[in-house]
Chain A
Amino acid sequence: MNKWLREDLWRHLVGIAICLFALFPLYLVIISSFSSSGSLQLSSFLPREISFANYSKLFNDPTIPYLTWVKNSLFIAGSVAVFSVMIGTASAFAFSRLKFKGRKFGIQLLLLVQMFPAILAISAVYVIMERVYKFAPEIGLGTQPGLLLVYLGGAMGVNIWLLKGFVDSIPAELDEAAKIDGASEVQTFWLIFVPLAAPVLAVVALLSFIGTFNEFILARLFLVDMESRTVAVGLQQFIGGQYSQNWGPFAAGSILASIPIVIIFLSLQKYIVSGLTAGSVKG
């Protein structure tokens, strides 16, 4: 008993304490979503009422095509995740494995570019896509493909950092063996590297998915049309009004929007842990 107390009790105590810390705000969001008043004011910790008004508003109000928004969000975030991983992985492989002139300079440049405070980036991108809209309205401002292109602009820089360490940790002997067998670099990439890197790629895809899912500043500028909006943008209409804010539907919508992410996260947990750290462990 003493041994358990000394070795395990403190672990449980720490675990429980931090879990309470983690859960508390989420609990409040859930209560807000079930209360019929439209404010964040929480007068008691136990819900005074359970009302589904907010949830039903999300599904029944014809001016709120919530499910369409979710579909849009999933499509955009999913596409960005997939392409982002492809671009990032290929670049990380090239930078880590292949020797070429300007490699060190290139990766430093990539890191630096990521650090630039992108205050005016939104204005600049808006102007660029406006002009693209003039000659190619299918991929310009206001379209989902256009927004996808903008999001993918940053794909290379962001993911290289996470992936580089992992690529380094794959022994070079594997590459040598493949070369002896007559494989080119591209074949080495697809046949040997990608299968090995699956956990890391899953992590990168997931992080990219979550990030894109939550992004609303660019999305609300680009996807104005009610039918093409994402969830993050659509929910803004509850709290970005000129004179009033309606927290109830916002809380309900946020909870629903986070469920798929949480499910994916939890089911991929094992991958995530090994993937995130594989990127930092060398050999």
Chain B
Amino acid sequence: MNTKRFGFAGVLAAFALAVSTLVAPSASANTQIVVWADESRGPNLTKVIAAKGDWVPGFTVKVVTFSSFDALKDAFDKATDASGPDIVVGGNDWVPTGAKSGKLAPLTLTAAVKARFNQTQFVDLTYKGKLYGVPVDINNVAMIYNTKLVSTAPKTFGEMVSNYKSLKASKGLKAGLCIAGGGMSWGAHSVFSALGADAYQFNSRGGIVYGRAFNATTFGKNVRTYLMDGKKSNGFFPATDTGCKDNFLAGTVPYAVIGNWEWADYVAKGFTMNLMPVPGVVDGTYGKMFGSVSGALLTTFAAKHGVESAAKSLLTNFFASTDGQVRYQAFEKRPPAEKGAQADATVSAAQRGFGSAASLAGIPQIGAFLNSNKGGANYWDSAPAYWTAVLIDGKDAVKEASKLASIWRTNTDGGRGDL
């Protein structure tokens, strides 16, 4: 009885094996370039490719959209060449870790292509002297003021604080200046800087100053003067960004730092784009704001998939071209990094407001200094921690500031070799 069953099974199994040997794995050339993007860029890229897809002769482009930026990062962290993309549109802070870990591949752009961009944008995507992607769009913030509450642009930080104090009762203000876009580390750098704490300093020739950090005492004293009332916060600057956008739109906060990706929401509620950098303590100075780029990054998987040159061509022909950028930004509505596209008439006037604020007080976001690639606290965690410690927990503004300064100086010096 057993043998009969085995015999039956054996015959079928042999048959299956025989059939399966006829199934040979295919080995044709790969003609598809795979691009990964998040939930907002992905659909827009798909639309552009659907309208015109022949950016690289002989190759098609496939855009894979992830459900969120977090999901995209998660998947890219885990991807190997079996399933990974050829190009990924990600944040510029992915470059140091991606390059170090061998996930991102370097590329060289010709001088002609490079000339179409602002050279500092390449700094964001460079690691140890090699470039790993092409800038796609610029992200920066600027401060908007509500002309129904304050009619003129403030000249100094102090002016904003006194306006807040005088209007607080009559207009029922919930805060004076809050961060609506960019968070308490990235967006709030404008406030840090306005009061004297820059993440890294530039000398007169535009180079980085090493071995020194901002003056903790001056900054701490400014914080005490402008943001505190004794040991507690005076309510001008909240330590978190919760509810900031809603409050500004409702008219209960006169000044807000907003991101250039959400300008449409403000225009929809009837605000004009009165944009400027955050004014500093002294008239004529401003708080510096990060201008970061998201990049179309080249992966090492492209070479494994046999489409390395094709992917590089896509980067040059589409992502770094005026035509490609204009088509893309028509849907995405962020300011393009490419100069030709910037000059295009369809880039909205709102973006020009951000652009001029950036030209007054924008600095490049240099991941090597902000990320603490050697381990230990980085800028992103330590910055909001300062606001919590001083404005909520009531710790000493100067003492916490010197801790902050020491962290930032360590990271700047430590990141020097990664540039």
Contact = CB atoms under 8 A, between A and B. Distances in A.
A and B touch in the complex (CB under 8 A): yes
Interface of A: 37, 39-41, 63, 122-123, 126-127, 130-131, 133-135, 141-142, 220-221, 224-226, 229, 233-234, 236-237, 239-244
Contacts of B261: 243-244
Interface in B37-90: 38-40, 43, 64-71, 74-75, 78, 80, 82-83
Contacts of A241: 38-40, 68-69
Contacts of A40: 242
Nearest to B71: A220
B398 to A, nearest CB: 32
A15 to B, nearest CB: 35
Nearest first, the 4 closest Cβ-Cβ pairs linking A and B are A240-B68, A242-B69, A130-B82, A41-B243
B71 A233 contact: yes
B246 A236 contact: no
A156 B182 CA distance: 46
Contacts of A127: 78, 80
A126 B71 CA distance: 14
A234 B71 contact: no
Interface in B232-285: 242-243, 245-246, 249, 259, 261-262
Interface of B: 25, 38-40, 43, 64-71, 74-75, 78, 80, 82-83, 91, 139, 181-183, 242-243, 245-246, 249, 259, 261-262
A239 to B, nearest CB: 8
A146 to B, nearest CB: 11
A239 B70 CA distance: 9
A221 to B, nearest CB: 6
Given A63-B43, A133-B82, A237 B246 contact: no
Nearest to B64: A224
Given A221-B78, A240-B70, A226 B139 contact: no
A130 B66 CA distance: 17
B83 A142 contact: yes
Contacts of A134: 82
A230 to B, nearest CB: 10
A237 B66 CA distance: 8
Contact of B74 (A37, A63, A133, A221): A221
A234 B249 CA distance: 28
Nearest to A129: B83
Contact of A224 (B40, B69, B75, B249): B75
Given A130-B82, A141-B83, A224 B67 contact: yes
Contact of B139 (A135, A221, A243): A243
A281 to B, nearest CB: 42
A123 B25 CA distance: 26
Contacts of B181: 243-244
A267 to B, nearest CB: 31
A236 B243 contact: no
Contact of A131 (B25, B64, B82, B139): B82
Most buried by A among B40, B83, B139, B242: B83
A39 B66 contact: no
Nearest to A37: B246
A133 B38 CA distance: 23
Contacts of B64: 224-225
B68 A39 contact: no
